[in-house]
Amino acid sequence: MGIYGALATAVTGLRAQSFALENISGNIANSQTTGYKRIETSFLDLIPDAPIKQQIPGTVIAQSRSTVNDAGDIVSSPNDTYMAINGSGFFVVEQQIGQNDGNAVFGGANYYTRRGDFDINKEGYLVNGAGYFLKGLEIDRGTGNVSGSVPDVIKLSNAFLPAQQSTRLDYQLNLPQIPKNAGYDPSSPNSEIMTAADYVATPPDITATTTGAALTGANDAATVMAAGESLTLNVGGTNVIFDFFDGNAGAYAGANIGIDVQTTAAVSITAALANMQTGLQSSGVAGTADATIAIAGGNLEVTLGTNTTASFTATDGTTGLGLAAAANDPIDSSLAVRVPVVQAQQNGSFLANSVAGGAITVYASNGSPANVQIRWAKIDQPELGGPDRWNMFYMTNSEAVGGETMWVNAGQDYDFDSSGSMSPSITSTTLSNLSVNGVAIGNLVLQHNSAGVTQFADQSGTAQVTSMSQNGYPAGEFISVTINEAGRVVASYTNGQQIEVAQVVVANFNSPNSMKRLDGALFAATSESGEAILNNGNGILGGALESSNTDISEEFTKLIVTQQAYTAGTRIVSTADEMLKEALNMVR
């Protein structure tokens, strides 16, 4: 080897340093290129085979070493469609190879890049600064889930977003234990209760058909209420017993309510029934304070007046009254418990007997809006012999007059136990065929969830709405697009809706530094890098860009070292040349 070997070795060194200089030059040139990955230079020594005592350092070759897995700095950007990957991975892109009838034609090959300066072109595609088209997965608008696993070029549409009919209303609130509505008077018990009799003609609780001829009030009471007979009413579980006696036999002295049907003169049926009514009202039994007992149409009618919730039965040993084993349970009668509708002429009274439950705009299938107002009325409570019970109403016609329907009952009883929780629990209620001011909405499900409606004590006495949102919207025009934190492309519309239209995917490789570099900060998979492993947008940041990972100061340092190494190599060449000259001069 000798001098010639030293000369050859020096030349390989010069060649290697020139290669390193070329890499340094490229790194510095691309120090401001978005997503650029610098190339380092690795030097490999080549040792010739020789005995251990005769080994020499050998020559050198230079090789490129990629830094694809070294991230550059991430900087924010005012452009909402710009993206950066915080972590490993690449955007999946594709190259346009031509056009057909004005539409872009793609080759179908996947490429990979960290360059995320994507903008929307005139055709609705997301294209980065190097001209490559972003790929992702389509999102099912119905479920919000990704559909499919093979990414395709993302294309946005500027078409109108069709209207969506409101079908669900998430509604949660707390109802006060004592509603302090306009009709509430602290000194008047139960004044906060909405009484059905004020809005609808409630039927009598018991209507008995007499045996034989109809009852005539002027007739002798003893003909249908014979002395020694009794009539038992069970009101809310408590018995009220009427004992009929003959006044000529002496005053009745029992513990029950005595009704004299025969004094020195005959007692009329009307008078006897009036005495029975007085006795029932003064019995002290809950729910009987304004009860009535009278003749109507020849039949005996017994009612509990404004108490339309307590149940009772009648057991009569007097066949003339026709009440034998008669029974009635108003709790099972919707008319007795609920007011199905409120007329316009009853609106003032209804507002005084209820509390506001919030209002929300919902939408018909064609996008027509309708403002739904909700009010709650308490219709029963333990002091009246029933549970804490509420009914919900919604306004169907704000322009109703006279006897026209203004408010409609939702048709659901909301009962609460002593802890303020619903019993039984009601997770949802459906407003069937909802129509507001002529706008037909259809069925609207009010979703309460398991404990969304409560009745806890509230000093304000008003309903406190904690959640009220619906899923409908009118048609809207496309205005912009952004990338959210989950890596999804989100289109915004003038109706306020933000629709996720595509999922940006991130491709990872087992050996990213073994990928092949292409123009425009682009990479292609190789057999050494392995196949792409896709995931749904992990680490994607919208409104951000990844800078080049080139450090100028570091490159300048390497530049100085490379220059010095190259200069030293040239000295070896010069020295070897001088030595050769000396060797040649020895023969002269």
- Reported as a single tens digit per residue, the pLDDT across 181-190 is 999 999 988 8
158 vs 144: CA distance, rounded Å: 20
- For 200-227, b/e burial (b = at least 16 CB within 10 A) is bebebbbbbebeeeebeeeebbbebbbb
Q: Are 524 and 516 in contact (CB under 8 A)?
A: yes
Residue 43 has pLDDT above 60, yes or no: yes
Q: Which two tokens stand for residue 67?
A: 């830094």
Are 349 and 326 in the same domain?
Answer: no
Are 433 and 521 in the same domain?
Answer: no
Residue 367 has pLDDT above 50, yes or no: yes
Residue 53's pLDDT is 81
Q: Which of 116, 72, 25 is nearest to 550 (CA)?
A: 72
Residue 486 has pLDDT above 60, yes or no: yes
The enclosing H or E element of 17 equals helix 2-29
Band (pLDDT 50/70/90 cuts) for residue 332 is: very low
Which range marks the domain in which residue 14 is found? 2-67+549-585
Residue 414's pLDDT is 95
Q: Which two tokens stand for residue 286?
A: 């809950």
**Domain end position, chosen among 298, 314, 332:** 332
Q: What is the mean pLDDT of residues 279-300?
A: 84
Are 324 and 390 in the same domain?
Answer: no
Dihedral pair phi/psi, residue 438, rounded to 5°: 85, -5
Which pairs count as long-range contacts for 209-214, CB under 8 Å and 24+ apart, including other chains? 209/299, 209/322, 210/298, 210/299, 210/300, 210/320, 210/321, 210/322, 211/319, 211/320, 211/322, 212/320, 214/297, 214/298, 214/299
At 500-543, the pLDDT tens digits run 999 999 999 999 999 999 999 999 999 999 999 998 878 899 99
Residues 6+ apart with CB under 8 A from 119: 79, 81, 126, 127, 128
Do β-strands 506-508 and 90-94 pair in parallel, antiparallel, or remain unpaired?
Answer: antiparallel
Band (pLDDT 50/70/90 cuts) for residue 326 is: low
Residue 263's pLDDT is 66
> Is the backbone peptide bond immediately before 189 cis, with ω within 30 degrees of 0?
no
150 vs 507: CA distance, rounded Å: 12
Residue 253 counted as domain residue: yes
Residue 337's pLDDT is 57
454 vs 292: CA distance, rounded Å: 36
* Count of the separate structural domains present in the chain: 4
Residue 317's pLDDT is 65
Residue 190 counted as domain residue: no
Band (pLDDT 50/70/90 cuts) for residue 324 is: low
Q: Are 415 and 388 in contact (CB under 8 A)?
A: yes
Residue 264 counted as domain residue: yes
Q: How far is CA 354 from CA 338, 349, 350, 351, in A?
A: 13, 9, 6, 5
The enclosing H or E element of 433 equals strand 428-436
DSSP state at residue 415: E
Residue 334's pLDDT is 38
Residue 198 counted as domain residue: no
Are 345 and 327 in the same domain?
Answer: no
Looking at every residue in the chain, the average pLDDT score rounds to 87
Are 554 and 525 in the same domain?
Answer: no
Residue 18 has pLDDT above 50, yes or no: yes
Answer yes or no: pTM beyond 0.85: no
**Domain end position, chosen among 311, 332, 353:** 332
Are 530 and 562 in the same domain?
Answer: no
Residue 156 counted as domain residue: no
Q: Are 411 and 338 in contact (CB under 8 A)?
A: yes
Are 273 and 222 in the same domain?
Answer: yes
| CATH assignment at residue 175 | 2.60.98.20
113 vs 128: CA distance, rounded Å: 10
Are 447 and 417 in the same domain?
Answer: yes
What is the sign of the dihedral through the CA atoms of 434, 436, 437 and 441?
negative
Are 116 and 87 in the same domain?
Answer: yes
Residue 281 counted as domain residue: yes
Q: Are 374 and 317 in contact (CB under 8 A)?
A: no
Residue 72 counted as domain residue: no
Band (pLDDT 50/70/90 cuts) for residue 309 is: low
227 vs 221: CA distance, rounded Å: 10
At 64-91, the pLDDT tens digits run 898 888 889 999 999 999 999 999 999 9
Q: Are 105 and 96 in contact (CB under 8 A)?
A: yes
Are 301 and 327 in the same domain?
Answer: yes
Are 216 and 318 in the same domain?
Answer: yes
Residue 153 counted as domain residue: no
Are 322 and 426 in the same domain?
Answer: no
Judged by DSSP in three states, 124 sits in coil
3-state SS of 230-263 is EEEEEECCEEEEEEEEEHHHCCCCCCCEEEEEEC
Band (pLDDT 50/70/90 cuts) for residue 329 is: low
